Copies of this chain bind each other. A is one copy, B any other.
Amino acid sequence: MKFAHIGDLHLGKILNGHSLLEDQRYILDQILHHLKSHRVDCLLIAGDIYDKTIPSSEATEVLNHFLKCLNEQKINVILISGNHDSASRLAFGSSFFKQGNVFIQTHYSNQPIVLEDEYGLIDVYAIPYMNRFDIKKALGLEETPSLKEGYHRLLEQLNLDLEKRNILVAHQFVLGVSEPGEDSSEELLIGGLEEVSSPILEDFDYVALGHIHKPETILNLSGRIRYSGSPLAYSKAEANQLKSMPIFELKTKPDWELKLISLFPQHPVKMVKTTASDVLNGIRGLEMMDYLYLELTDAYFPYAAISEIAKKYPNYLSIFPSHQNYLFQENDEFDHLQKLKPMEIINSWHQRVSGRNLSDEQLGWIQELWNKGEKE
């Protein structure tokens, strides 16, 4: 049986004020295309379906359309909720989805979803994101365990039949992974997620994880425990990443195959570090509609060039200097400024921003305001 593994869709994500919904539609269409051409039987979606617990109606439309298309292509779906999702909202209609072979798991169950192919049965355990309090409740514990201990006990409860092929779909921060990037959305959670680890993870024939956005994040040598990564870049730390989707086939228990399918976004998120004039002259490989994090290395911040850059790359996300405190970075300039009169400082700032000196009339107005301010 052939599976594909995605996660961290974050439908409805807004990145620096830019709605990514069109990009998300685009990448889901691409994923659908790959599922079809690779004749995938079952898609595993490892949580963080939406970016917010109350998704916009547009975001729900995107998921609705995606699930409908999967159903039309007779692709089974096993989907769990992540820490960004509202479990109860995502559970809406799940009894009906199940009849269409879309299994939405938003609450813990130690019972697998059982699939079958010519080699026998496959048990798929789908465990939504859980914190230690959820685990305490799910297992009926008296004390709240640490997440690591609790998760281990949770996995013990599954009572894997090691004769069969077993898959786990989960949304957690599993030990052994490097920390998420500095400004990744996961960092916005206080303390992020606690780490999880357990030797039981090694007993599965495939562990489809969600939470880490970095592609090809592999947790054991066999490559069977892995994060798919998000299908799109959702933070500065993810800029320039080539995202991908694992497609794997389980035949007999030891016999399996894995392919990584590269995903190409409509408008990639890019991080560029260069001078303003280089940007305005055109950077090779940078398209007009790319999402751009631009770090300017100019010695003086090129205020006047910013509006031109913004026009050239309307999807820019952030433009920021390599150096802090431009104005006073060099003692020379500081000394120079100290010798100037207030009107001269204002004019020199205006000159830098607009490229023009203030007119005598303008200087007169400012002088008037200045005098008035000094009096008060």
Interface residues of A (CB under 8 A from B): 54, 57-58, 60-61, 63-64, 67-68, 71, 86, 88-89, 91-97, 99-100, 102
Chain B residues with CB under 8 A of A58: 88
Interface pairs (21), CB distance under 8 Å: A54-B54, A57-B86, A57-B88, A57-B89, A60-B88, A60-B89, A61-B88, A64-B93, A64-B94, A67-B95, A71-B95, A92-B92, A93-B96, A93-B97, A95-B100, A96-B96, A96-B97, A96-B99, A96-B100, A96-B102, A99-B100
Assembly CA distance A91 to B57 (angstroms): 10
A53 nearest in chain B by CB position: B57
A58 nearest in chain B by CB position: B88
Chain B residues with CB under 8 A of A63: 92
The 3 A-B pairs at the shortest CB distance, nearest first, are namely A93-B93, A57-B88, A68-B95
Contact status B96-A71, CB under 8 Å? yes
Chain B residues with CB under 8 A of A97: 93, 96
Choose one: B57, B96, B100; the contact of A67 (CB below 8 Å). B96
Least Cβ–Cβ distance between A107 and chain B, in angstroms? 12
Assembly CA distance A58 to B88 (angstroms): 8
Assembly CA distance A94 to B96 (angstroms): 9
Chain B residues with CB under 8 A of A95: 64, 67-68, 71, 100
Contact status A60-B92, CB under 8 Å? yes
Least Cβ–Cβ distance between A185 and chain B, in angstroms? 22
Choose one: B64, B86, B96, B102; the contact of A91 (CB below 8 Å). B64
